[in-house]
A and B are shown apart, each in its own frame.
Chain A
Amino acid sequence: MSELLTKDKDIVVPGEILAVGMDFLPSYGTYREGDRIIANKLGLVRIDGKVVKLISLSGRYNPKRGDTIIGNVIDLAISGWRIDTNSAYSAMLSIKDASSEYIARGADLTQYYDIGDLVVAKIVNVTSQKLVDLTMRGPGLRKLDGGRVVNVNTNKVPRVIGKAGSMVTMIKRATGCNIVVGQNGIVWVQGEPEMEICAVDAIKMIEKDSHINGLTNRIKAYLEKTTGKKIDTVEVSSQ
């Protein structure tokens, strides 16, 4: 007889027994021991039919192929740039992936990206030893000028972006700021100083309250109150 010992959206800690019996299947954040499914992370329980999994609520970024991140140029090498990824591993951006234009070998690399520059880049490869390769060739991949960065919990990034980008679009429209959200938890915001503050506060609110219902409406109310402008509700798809 299989039994579930937890419910959807419960917060559990490592070592908690989530289910007993072979009818359930362990997925992300859980492991099976005998007939039991046990949490191996702190997280939010999701039960999807027979599958028991966790959604992480905390933890640093771990580079993943296909992620678009915001990185900081920390060093120059012979054949490219060393980029900090806000994780335990830095990444390499090689000359051939750095730009749509041709960069000759031996060219002055600082002409393109200098130490301290912020770039939006895409992870093209992560090896088992966590050697990370980046590319700057692709839509939206570029150097970021000016603006400020705010660090958010990388597990909350999907909520900051919202469904099909709805959340970040709402903040952009309300504040008039340019915003780029990196999967690695770095968010870049550029606009008028008071609007940058408003956008960052909204992002911090999302990070804090991400797993409760009615988030979109609360953020909308906050933005309307702070900017003194009404937000067209049709544009904002509910969660």
Chain B
Amino acid sequence: MTYKREGRKNDEPRKIIAKAGVIPRADGSGYFKIGNTEAYAAVYGPRNLFPKFKQDPKKGILRCNYNMMPFSGMGNRVRPGANRRSKEISMVTEKALAPVLDLGDYPNSVVDVFIELPQTDAGSRCAGICAASIALADAGLTMKDLVCSIAIGSINDTLLVDLDYDEEAYEGSVADIPLAVIPRTGELTLLQMDGVVDKDNLFKAFELGKKAIKIIYEVQKNALKDKYKQEASIKTGKAEDKSSAVKKEESDESKTASKEGQK
């Protein structure tokens, strides 16, 4: 029995909105919303790292912290504080972002990334990584590329991009494969899987995710550019010109999404 998705195509992610610079007190920040999953990320640093034994004299270290707000789950209140799940996600988030980041100029220091999720509807670690990638770039750090992250699901052997909670809870054979990709090279920096998938389908899943990764990259890029363009055009009236220009190109999915991100 094959699964038929309603409302969007199998390779289509949910609606995406992204912003940069949403937390003024942070050194860099990002916001990423995909469907009803929403993530804030703040970067603080490079800053002094304590305790001292954690310092690396060769380079700065990246430290990520993923947390769900107590009211962000679909069911019961989420108990505050770290748990095994959030600790593991924090760790894989670190590993997903570190390969693009060069902290060689900052020995003995730390770059802290704090990710908070106000509401979730599956795909929260991926949204967190996307928001964190925007925040790291906004913080002016040396990075060889951004990182884009999306989960590919499989329901009764039908591959689907970006499952929502209802799809994840489908009564049948469901698998979920969260990925993070360096967009320019296509290399993977996060790969997890739960559920059962054929070997062939795994590689098909990577292919299927390419379109979504491209959309995410465009939205992230536009969010960052818009922040700095906006800063530049606050009093020149150029902001209005730009938004009307974007309206004309509404057929382009990614541009529409980032335009909405500005509202």
Contacts and interface: CB of A to CB of B under 8 A. Distances in A.
Interface of A: 11-17, 31, 38, 40-43, 56-60, 62, 87-90, 128-130, 155, 208-209, 211-212, 218
Contact of B144 (A11, A38, A60, A88): A38
B138 A208 contact: no
A211 B232 CA distance: 6
The 10 closest A-B pairs by CB, nearest first: A59-B140, A15-B145, A58-B140, A88-B109, A14-B143, A88-B46, A42-B137, A11-B228, A13-B224, A212-B232
Contact of A15 (B108, B183, B229): B183
Nearest to B106: A88
Contact of B27 (A42, A60, A212): A60
Residue among A14, A41, A62 with most chain B CB within 10 A: A14
A56 B221 CA distance: 16
Contacts of B110: 88
Contacts of B131: none
Interface in B194-239: 220-221, 224-225, 228-229, 231-236
B229 A128 contact: no
Contacts of B60: 88
B146 interface: yes
B142 interface: yes
B143 A40 contact: yes
Contacts of A155: 140
A42 B106 contact: no
29 contacts: A11-B224, A13-B137, A13-B221, A14-B143, A15-B143, A15-B144, A15-B145, A40-B102, A40-B143, A42-B137, A56-B140, A58-B27, A58-B28, A59-B27, A59-B139, A60-B140, A87-B46, A88-B47, A88-B60, A88-B108, A89-B109, A90-B48, A129-B57, A130-B107, A130-B108, A208-B231, A211-B232, A212-B232, A212-B236
Given A59-B139, A60-B140, A129-B108, A209 B228 contact: no
A129 B233 contact: no
A218 B146 CA distance: 35
Given A13-B221, A13-B225, A209-B232, A59 B141 contact: yes
A17 B235 CA distance: 30
Nearest to A17: B184
Contacts of A59: 27, 139-141
Given A60-B27, A212-B236, A14 B138 contact: no
B131 to A, nearest CB: 15
B105 interface: yes
Contacts of B57: 129
A239 to B, nearest CB: 15
Contacts of A12: 225
B51 to A, nearest CB: 16
Contact of A209 (B47, B108, B144, B234): B234
Interface of B: 27-28, 45-48, 57, 60, 100, 102, 105-110, 137-146, 182-184, 220-221, 224-225, 228-229, 231-236
A40 B146 CA distance: 9
Given A13-B221, A88-B47, A209-B231, A40 B144 contact: yes
Contacts of A62: 46, 105-106
Given A211-B232, A212-B236, A41 B143 contact: yes
Contacts of A209: 231-232, 234-235
B144 A31 contact: yes
A99 B28 CA distance: 38
A130 B110 CA distance: 14
Contact of B46 (A58, A60, A90): A60
B138 A58 contact: yes
Given A13-B146, A14-B100, A15-B143, 13 more contacts: A11-B224, A38-B145, A38-B184, A40-B143, A40-B144, A41-B143, A42-B224, A57-B228, A59-B139, A59-B141, A60-B27, A60-B45, A208-B234
B143 to A, nearest CB: 4
A15 to B, nearest CB: 3
Residue among A17, A40, A87, A88 with most chain B CB within 10 A: A88
A112 B68 CA distance: 49
